[in-house]
Structure 1
Amino acid sequence: MHMRKLHAVFISLAASTLVSCSTVPEHGATASSSVVVAPVARQAQGVIERFPDAPAAQLDPNAATLTRLESLAPEADPGVLALALEARNCAIRNGEVDQDAKLAVIDYSRPSTDKRLWVFDVARDQLLFRELVAHGQGSGDNVATRFSNQDNSHQSSLGLFLTAETYIGNNGYSLKLDGVERGFNDNARSRAIVMHGAWYVSPDMAASKGRIGRSHGCPALSQGIARRVIDTMKGKQLLFSYANDTAWLHRGQSFACDGRSADQILAAARALRGGGAQRVAVAAP
């Protein structure tokens, strides 16, 4: 009986991915339903075959959604995507955002010359944007290595942000951010850490300087795309900023509502990429 119930759950999970995707904007990456469904179905079957007696609580609840995000952004670190997805799930569970909240992910462990910002419409299985994004002057040169929640540090902050209202400021059309990570980004509004466009965020700058320009801690975008991204992300959407920062990974709370640590979430997702569908089941925290 237990086996039949578990099998039914995973069959339902695989079937849920059959919803067709609408056309992705020109800055998105197109992924047909056949591309998305196949790995999810194989993953579900692999879990059943490898762990026939595993209780449901030990199976990663984000596995199918994570697989879809990975198919949309195969160049992204699956551990970073998993951590961001868990933070989104926690925010939904806490009533901070709706089920259809969009998710932007910045991976500050990558150099500034990489397109290290992804914007996902998770509910509709779409990658809307992949863009260059600046970090703060105080965080480092081409790679950000220092992060702060303090005013005048000119450093970027880590963790989950809720997007808020737009306004016209010194950097033009901008999006205010409210950090929800206590001690790591909850001073974002008072520090005026906002999303905005900047002339120094461009491939030409990256080619000539070996890095793009740096902000005072804001996630600045190229001027040509900033308004479109801001209009997509305004009003209680989610921005998740990642770096391999020990203090934040050990004490951050935005991704910790299911009892797993950041290390467990990162390791489980990366093992999936390296070891196949049979690695979906993880040890209970």
Structure 2
Amino acid sequence: MKLRYILLCLLWLLPCTMWREEGGVSQRPTASLVSEADACRSLYHDMGLEGVVNWKAFRQAVTGYQRIEGRKRDVLTLIDFSLPSTAERFFVFDMARRRLLFSSVVAHGKNSGENYATSFSNEYGSYKSSLGFYLTGSTYQGSNGYSLLLDGLEKGINDRARERAIVVHGAAYADPSVASRGGRLGRSFGCPALPQKLSRPIIDAIKDGSVMYIYAPTPEYLAQSTVLNASDLPDAI
């Protein structure tokens, strides 16, 4: 009887200690989500993000960051497209030192929307932004100056980023002064374009293998994502 009880206990504990692999991403089982959420809340409070960064977007970004294989930097970038282009919606976090490094405005694709980005695509020539998780690559000097390559990690969502030349770069149309005159930033061909005075320091902070997450409150993304699941992301902080 005692042996049977021990075996039952072991069978119950086993799922809590296992990880499952899916699409090259390590995913924690449901039983570990409580402690994972608590750790994320602690990080959110330690960084002083209340009233600055959307909790739901941050929670999703951190969850994916922890699951992404191949990251080489303890740096996480969040682009929050639930906010208008006139707001600071590009955030860079030092995950090791638990602090916010940068916050900035950022432009979205010209066919994704006016002041808000509401439509997204992975298709070449769409001139739309793409959601989901990326790893940053190397830098280069291009037609937009100092720029950063991005590798989209989610098939069908953003994996054509290189083909589409979706990169981080600076642009005059991404300056806050443009928004103050016209009611919104200028728009890109799908790239996350930054103010020129911030593009180099931000690119240097996130280049070479850090995680980027582009968020929007769209159920369609969660239904297709190979990194996140709608069921494992509670809304409440």
Range into which the TM-score falls when normalised by the shorter chain: 0.7 to 0.9
Unaligned runs of 5+ in 2: 1-29
Which residue matches 1:72?
A: 48
Question: How is 1:206-221 mapped onto 2 (pairs within 5 angstroms)?
Answer: 206-221=179-194
Equivalent residues of 1:83, 1:262 under 8 A apart: no
Distance 1:263 1:202, change over 3 A: farther
Give the CA deviation at 1:202: 1.6
Which residue matches 1:164?
A: 137
Which residue matches 1:271?
A: 236
Match of 2:76 among 103, 116, 131: 103
2:41 equivalent to 1:63: no
* Structure 2: distance between partners of 1:181 and 1:63: 27
Give the CA deviation at 1:72: 2.8
Give the CA deviation at 1:136: 0.2
Read off the aligned partner of 1:156 and give its amino acid letter: S
Scaled by the length of structure 1, what TM-score is found?
0.69
RMSD: 1.6
Question: How is 1:132-211 mapped onto 2 (pairs within 5 angstroms)?
Answer: 132-211=105-184
Equivalent residues of 1:115, 1:133 under 8 A apart: yes
Match of 1:262 among 218, 230, 234: 230
Equivalent residues of 2:120, 2:130 under 8 A apart: yes
Read off the aligned partner of 1:104 and give its amino acid letter: T
Match of 1:250 among 207, 211, 223: 223
Q: Which runs of 4+ in 1 moved over 6 A?
A: none
**Structure with the bigger percentage of helix:** 1
* Structure 2: distance between partners of 1:239 and 1:178: 10
* Structure 2: distance between partners of 1:184 and 1:252: 8
* Structure 2: distance between partners of 1:85 and 1:198: 28
Equivalent residues of 2:176, 2:195 under 8 A apart: no
Give the CA deviation at 1:58: 5.4
How big is each residue's C-alpha offset from its partner over 1:43-68, in whole Å with a ceiling of 9 and x where there is no partner? xxxxxxxxxxxx96352314223332
How big is each residue's C-alpha offset from its partner over 1:131-187, in whole Å with a ceiling of 9 and x where there is no partner? 000000010000011000001100000000100010000100000000001100000
How big is each residue's C-alpha offset from its partner over 1:242-283, in whole Å with a ceiling of 9 and x where there is no partner? 01222212111123xxxxx23541xx2x312xxxxxxxxxxx
Distance 1:174 1:82, change over 3 A: same
Equivalent residues of 1:135, 1:214 under 8 A apart: yes
The alignment-based identity, stated in percent, is 41
* Structure 2: distance between partners of 1:116 and 1:57: 30
Equivalent residues of 2:135, 2:153 under 8 A apart: yes
Distance 1:109 1:58, change over 3 A: closer
* Structure 1: distance between partners of 2:200 and 2:59: 27
* Structure 1: distance between partners of 2:231 and 2:197: 37
Equivalent residues of 1:66, 1:85 under 8 A apart: no
Give the CA deviation at 1:97: 1.3
Read off the aligned partner of 2:154 and give its amino acid letter: E
Aligned residue pairs total 206
What is the DSSP-based 3-state SS (H/G/I as helix, E as strand, rest coil) of the residue aligned with 1:119?
Answer: strand
**Structure with the bigger percentage of strand:** 2
2:196 equivalent to 1:223: yes
Which residue matches 2:8?
A: none
